[in-house]
Each structure stands twice: as structure tokens, then as C-alpha cells.
Amino acid sequence: MSQCSLAIFLHQLLAGELAPVGPVNDAATLNRLVEVPAPALRILLGAHLDALLARWPSSHALRPQSLPSALLWIAAALNNAAWAVQRPDPRLLTITLRLSEAIPAAADPDEALAYHSLIRHLPRLTLAEDWLPVAQRLFDRSPLTAAWLPRRNGALSPALIDLLGYYPVQVELRDRWLALLPDEQSARRTIPAAMAAANAELGQLLRDLLALDAGWRPFTLAFYEADCAFQRRGSDERPAWPLIDALGAAARQERDLARRRYAQKTLYRYAPLVDLITDEASARPYLHLDGRFQDLVVEAVPHRQLKLWRAVDRRTTEMPIADV
């Protein structure tokens, strides 16, 4: 596959289409992508970064002055993953897996933004099971994408911590995390497993931030204030949060074990808030949440389960969900 074909893929991706015209499956092309990239490819990579930042408020100061050379390997890996959705090829999988392993992790905020501008499209693909390790390796190398999903990759990346200090990034992540909530109908029936897992990962991510530095309390509580406002129904005099009610009922009373587990995992997004509410001395200087919302959250999160969560080693990526 020529660099021209990869340029076509990147151009179509700007329009929202994951439509490769062929795989990147030869060493010569992969080497040229890093050593002698076509000027058009560099322009397209910059356009993808601009497309990402254009959605964020006041983000002009975040734009990197240069792009990492490994970004074209990320483009090639994304191209190959999209190609393999319709045309399985074991040889292409082997090449792409090795390629993803060779990509260095983002080492600073500029690289993290550049990586995210492409890797954020990866979840749109319905990958075969044997391609999931490729996706995992790409997510592992992109700390901003991992937080956006969210998906924990061990210790918090310094590049992510730096980016979280910028308001546009905070807004982007807040809006993404609010979109992870199930609707009320799903909460009363079956929450999708991937959605439940994402909410559990979010809870652990916020706990990791709070454990790293108490200075992240305002950021964490500002997110929960947005969550409270986003879910609120009813009038000022009689506000209601029916989703929290439904999740709490399912986590405590649902007879179907899978439904109960998914409700519990979804509620884990509120475990850091329960911790902060319990520690009033820490939370009071920052807390502007509606007290009625706080009471509902504390009641909804199963107390026995919360004790188990608090005991989990933070290096563990999977929270134990007990029958409570």
C-alpha cells in the first residue's frame, strides 16, 4: 500500500468515514512513513488534530507545534484494523500487532493530544476478538484516550495529569463521562456490560486522582455537580433523580445476578463521591451539590460492596462485584 492510499484513508476519516482502500502490510512503506513521510500526510495529521481541538472551548493554546513521527504508525494501525473488519487476514494481524507494540507511549501532553486525535476513532470499529490486543496496545499508549473511554492503564500518566490541568480537556472529559450513564429504561432492565464496565473504570480513575493529590477534589466534585444537574428531573421544590433510584433498586433487589452486577458496577462511578461525603471535613470547602442528590447516592451505593471496593488494591483493573 502506498502513502497515497493512507492519505486517502486519513482524508475520508476527517469526514467521519473509516474506509481504507487497502492495508499497510509491507516493511518498506512502514519505514518510509517515519523516515520520509509524504508532506500531504503531515498536513492531514495536523487537520485531525485541529478537528479534535475545534470541538473544545478556548483550546488554541493546546495545539502542539510539532507532531510525533509515530503518529503515522498509529494511522497505519487504525487503517489496518478498519480493513480487517471486512477482510480478515492473519498475516495483517501479525504485522499490525508488531506495529502497535513498536509505538512508544505518549510521553508528554503534545503527544497525548496527537495520539488521541486518531485513536479516539478506534472504538467505532467492531473488531474481531483476535484484533482486540491491537486495540488494547493502542489504548495503552494513549493516556487521554484511556481516560476518555475510560480504561485504566495502571498508574496515572504524567501526560494525562498535565492535560487535566487545562479547562478544555476537563470539559471534554466531563461531557464524555456524562454520556456513559444508562437511560432509565436500561437501568430497570439490563445495563449493557460495556457501559457498566466503563462506569466502574470511571469511578476508579477518579479515586486514583484523589489518592494522588487532594488538589483534585474540586475537579472531582465539579464533575459530580454536573452529573447531578444532568440527571435532575422535576421542579425546584421537588427535584428527583429517577436514574439513581432505579440503579439503587437494581443493585439491592434485582434477582437476576447479571443485572444486579451491572447495576453495582455502574454505581461505582459514585464511590469517590460517597468517600468525599463521608469525609465532610475534606469535602465541605468545595461541596455545592444538592443535599438530596447526595442522600440518594449514599443510599443507592451498596454499603457492603463499597467496603469491598475500598479494599481493592489500586493496581487491580477489575473491581470485585459480590452478591449483596
Q: Are residues 142 and 24 in the same domain?
A: yes
Mean pLDDT of the 130-153 span: 94
Cell output for 216:
483534585
Q: Are residues 135 and 194 in the same domain?
A: no
Q: Are residues 135 and 227 in the same domain?
A: no
Compute how many other C-beta atoms are within 10 angstroms of the C-beta atom of residue 186: 20
Determine, yes or no, domain membership for 171.
no
Q: Are residues 119 and 214 in the same domain?
A: no
Query: How many domains in the chain?
Result: 2
Cα–Cα distance for residue pair 303/274, rounded to 1 Å = 10
Given this model, what pLDDT does residue 188 score?
85
pTM, entire model: 0.88
Determine, yes or no, domain membership for 318.
no
Determine, yes or no, domain membership for 198.
yes
Q: Are residues 296 and 200 in the same domain?
A: yes
Instruction: Single out the residue in 124, 148, 172 at which a domain terminates.
Output: 148
Cα end-to-end distance, the chain, whole Å: 55
Determine, yes or no, domain membership for 162.
no
Determine, yes or no, domain membership for 324.
no
Q: Are residues 78 and 213 in the same domain?
A: no
DSSP 30-44: HHHHHHS--HHHHHH
The domain in which residue 272 lies consists of 180-311
Determine, yes or no, domain membership for 154.
no
Q: Are residues 42 and 85 in the same domain?
A: yes
Asked whether the beta carbons of 288 and 228 are under 8 A apart, the reply is no
Per-residue three-class SS string for the chain: CCHHHHHHHHHHHHCCCCCCCCCCCCHHHHHHHHHCCCHHHHHHHHHHHHHHHCCCCCCHHHCCCCCCCCHHHHHHHHHHHHHHHHCCCHHHHHHHHHHHHHCCCCCCHHHHHHHHHHHCCHHHCCCCHHHHHHHHHHHHCCHHHHHHCCCCCCCCCHHHHHHCCCHHHHHHHHHHHHCCCCCHHHHHCCCCHHHHHHHHHHHHHHHHHHHHCHHHHHHHHHHHHHHHHHHCEECCCCEECHHHHHHHHHHHHCCCHHHHHHHHHHHHHHHHHHHHHHCHHHHCCCCCCCHHHHHHHHHHCCHHHHHHHHHCCCCCCCCCCCCC
Determine, yes or no, domain membership for 46.
yes
Q: Are residues 43 and 109 in the same domain?
A: yes
Determine, yes or no, domain membership for 193.
yes
Cα–Cα distance for residue pair 12/111, rounded to 1 Å = 23
Gyration radius of the chain's alpha carbons: 21
Tens-place pLDDT, residues 3-49: 889 999 999 999 999 999 999 988 888 888 888 888 999 999 999 99
Tens-place pLDDT, residues 159-216: 999 999 999 999 999 999 999 999 988 888 889 999 999 999 999 999 999 999 989 9
Instruction: Single out the residue in 130, 148, 166 at which a domain terminates.
Output: 148
Tens-place pLDDT, residues 206-257: 999 999 998 999 999 999 999 999 999 999 889 999 999 999 998 887 788 8
Q: Are residues 8 and 143 in the same domain?
A: yes
Q: Which of 19-23, 63-67, 71-75, 320-324 is least confident?
A: 320-324
